[in-house]
Amino acid sequence: MRIHSVALMGMAFVVACGGGGESTGSSRTTAAPAADVARTVGGEAIMTADGSAVSKKAHSKWESALDDFEANEKSGWTSAKCSSSAKSFERVSDAQGGGFAEAHYMAGLALSRCGDSGAYDHYERALKVDSKFCKARVALGLRDLENGRTRDAKSAFERSIKDDPQCTSGYTNLAIVQRSEGNNAEALKNLRRALAIESDYLAAFNQMALLHYDRGRAGKPAELDLAEVVCRQAQMLDADYAPIYNTWGLIKVFKGDVISALRYFQKAITLDPDLFEAQMNFGGVTISFRGYQDARKAFATAVALEPESYDAVVGLGTALRGLGQFGEAQRQYERAKQIDGGRPEAYFNLGVLYQDYMSGSVADLKQAKGFFNEFLRRAGNRAEFRSSVKDVSTRCAQKPSKKRGAPRCRPGRMQNIDISIEAMQVAG
């Protein structure tokens, strides 16, 4: 589950990385599945994880395919590389007569590096060969999680650790679901189980830091310090693990140390430009400092990574508005409406655009008022929009109260528009 704290003007985006599931393999670290899938027994026979002997021909192809995969991890993936790598692992399985679950899994992992949904066919094939193959089971669970089928995902993760008690990714992703359900105690237990099996499993460290971060936001300040301790531990294990810097940045934002947060978000996107959450957070913080050029670059990257992300599109529009590119900003807000017409943020930003940045004509002000009305209709009484609803809808008495100590009333945007239109009409 991603955690968002989004100001409607695009001033802050807080996105927790890894909330939607930890991948069974990181695109930014060298995947070395040979260590736990194909191994030498007594220096002679090569065995798969389920104990089946691997032919010399299949093993030779396996080693070559792994070398190719790891080279692509370092140099960067392209669609052609993903396809080629997957086919190399398919040839491994063919050489073994189709009974090589690890090769099927790796073929899927290669395709997943480019977002190819064909990866899931390979994961299913791996499970047909070995129904207890942990990583393939977890990968299918992640698909359920991404598609909102939380119950199915939870069942998959639970089965993965039942079938294989050493399944670190199973424990970690089960903890993510439990955390989203508010069951932090069980989530923490499962993260500790994962780290007891694999003491340097960085995904578990990241989720543990996020868990303490959640507790800190819930009113336990000491938990924020624990979250930072976990981040430091992860950093000592691997200083180039990008997600932990994004999580660290979230903690700093909540503590009010925005400068440090910006540094951590920048570190995350420097290490991994494809880390969507860090791009969003970097863009949100730079906008709060009116760093519109940096924000535009970050949000444009985020949109390229996830073209259907409503928040990324609205963020890009706000950065463009700050740069004076009003036509481009409007196009982004209109695009956000197409992605999800039920959300209010795009209408608020269109209202701001027409009220504050266009010609100032009666026609533009009326257009702004129309957008604000649509915003109010969609925002309703939802707590996250309360401040912006007040900003738009507050109406003050035309004759301010002369009573000593009476609170000063500031007209909202709608009333200011009415005042401006009336003044222009009177002036002819």
Calculate Rg over the CA atoms of the chain: 26
Of the candidates 101, 92, 96, 95, the one whose C-alpha atom is nearest the C-alpha of residue 69 is 92
Q: In this structure, what token pair is assigned to residue 123?
A: 């994961």
Which pairs with CB-CB distance under 8 Å and at least 24 residues apart come from 63-68? 63/34, 64/88, 65/89, 65/91, 65/92, 65/103, 65/106, 66/32, 66/33, 66/34, 66/106
| Distance of alpha carbon 387 from alpha carbon 406, whole angstroms | 21
Tokens at 126, concatenated = 């791996």
- Say which amino acid occupies 372: F
CA separation for the pair 216, 201 (Å, rounded):
23
Q: What gap in Å lies between CA 130 and CA 102, rounded to an integer?
A: 9
> pLDDT tens per residue, the chain (428 residues)?
233 323 333 333 445 555 557 765 433 323 333 334 444 333 344 666 556 677 888 888 999 999 999 999 989 899 999 999 999 999 999 988 888 999 999 999 999 999 999 999 999 999 999 999 999 999 999 999 999 999 999 999 999 999 999 999 999 999 999 999 999 999 999 999 999 999 999 999 999 999 999 999 999 999 999 999 999 999 999 999 999 999 999 999 999 999 999 999 999 999 999 999 999 999 999 999 999 999 999 999 999 999 999 999 999 999 999 999 999 999 999 999 999 999 999 999 999 999 999 999 999 999 999 999 999 999 999 999 999 999 999 999 877 666 666 668 899 999 999 999 999 988 86
What is the rounded CA–CA span in Å between residue 353 and residue 365? 10
DSSP 3-state percent helix, strand, coil across the chain (nearest 5): 65, 0, 30
Q: Which residues contact 319 (CB under 8 A, 6 or more apart)?
A: 10, 283, 287, 292, 295, 296, 299
Q: How far apart are CA 376 and CA 381, in angstroms?
A: 9
Classified as helix, coil or strand, 83 is: helix
- What's the pTM? 0.85
